[in-house]
Amino acid sequence: MMQRSLSARVSIFLGAINSGLKVVSGDFLMLLDVDDELLDSAISTKVTFLEKELDIDVVRSNGWYNRETGKSLFVYDGAEKNMEYIFAALVEGRTNNWAGSYMVRTSALFAFYPDREIYQSRYGQNLQFLMPLTYRKKCGFIDEPQMNYNIQANSLSQTSDQQECMARTLRNGEGYLDIRLHLIEQVIRDPEERQKYVQIAKVAYHRSVLNRAVSLRDKVVTREAYGNLKRDHALTISDTIEYCAMFCPCVVFPLRCIRKLTRVLKKGNAGRRATHEHHTNS
């Protein structure tokens, strides 16, 4: 189903995407899922932003996770709020891509998809809209909650059974990885850069599986995910801490101390470099 608003300048989709894209005529486009609720000014402020910032094709906003236990913001971190180039963060899953939280410029979207068809996946369509329009391009952010994401206890991504939760994590993660890999192939022309982002996406997937497996105390999946990161030469000390928390808890505290010391030293070195550069330029 498609709805129009603001004198038909904004198209809002609540159903099958590729069928609806064929008949879009507005200047801007938003997607909504059944568990999304737009708040006052969610549309008008995004339209105003894109009308003013003509070199930007996507604007996102903050929003509320609305759970039975209470509400929390999508984004608290200042660095994420100020992130102008979000392509890499989308590839790694370091920032959200919720339907209802963003608006795109249709002229830019259809320049990338001239046949008005996106890669179809049961695991979503938001990355298909965001990644092509944020590759080497800025993305706007409105730091104002403009939607509710109403999370139901029995929704697709929620379950209380640990074994089913791990299986669902793997299925969803593989589905999202498939979307990312397809878009990387579609968006990036340079083979070397493309391979770099393929590796980034795969490492991010294995790391998310590792973290989830540890939280669910799944030793088999923990070993597999840790082995995949080791094979890809992507292990960090945080990954090793997660792994040892499951299999060798006695070394977790020393490893945390080493991690903290490493961060302090790195911060100190960065500060000294900044001071040296300041004196050099003065």
Highest mean pLDDT among 9-23, 60-74, 156-170: 60-74
Please check the confidence at residue 278 and state whether its pLDDT lies above 80. no
Q: What pLDDT score was predicted for residue 143?
A: 97
Distances, alpha carbon 264 to alpha carbons 257, 268, 271, in Å: 11, 6, 11
C-alpha–C-alpha distance, residues 213 and 243, integer Å:
10
The residues near 101 (Cβ < 8 Å, ≥ 6 apart) are: 60, 61, 62, 63, 74, 146, 147, 149
C-alpha closest to that of 56 among 8, 103, 24, 91? 103
Please check the confidence at residue 271 and state whether its pLDDT lies above 80. no
Please check the confidence at residue 282 and state whether its pLDDT lies above 70. no
Name the residue with higher pLDDT: 274 or 94.
Answer: 94
Distances, alpha carbon 274 to alpha carbons 262, 265, 269, 277, 280, in Å: 18, 14, 9, 5, 10
Q: What are phi and psi of 101, to 5 degrees?
A: -100, -5
- Centre a 10 Å sphere on the Cβ of residue 36 and count the other Cβ atoms it contains: 19
C-alpha–C-alpha distance, residues 62 and 147, integer Å:
8
Joined together, the tokens standing for residue 75 give 């984004």
C-alpha–C-alpha distance, residues 73 and 66, integer Å:
9
Average pLDDT over residues 158-185: 91
C-alpha closest to that of 38 among 78, 66, 7, 68? 66
Helix (H, G, I), strand (E, B) or coil at 82: coil
CB 127 within 8 A of CB 97: yes
Joined together, the tokens standing for residue 84 give 């102008």
C-alpha–C-alpha distance, residues 173 and 54, integer Å:
35
Q: What pLDDT score was predicted for residue 78?
A: 96
Helices 237-247 and 191-215, axial angle in degrees (round to 10): 30
Q: What pLDDT score was predicted for residue 153?
A: 66
Strands of 131-262, DSSP E: 140-150
Please check the confidence at residue 236 and state whether its pLDDT lies above 70. yes
User: Which band of pLDDT confidence, cut at 50, 70 and 90, is reported for residue 161?
Assistant: confident
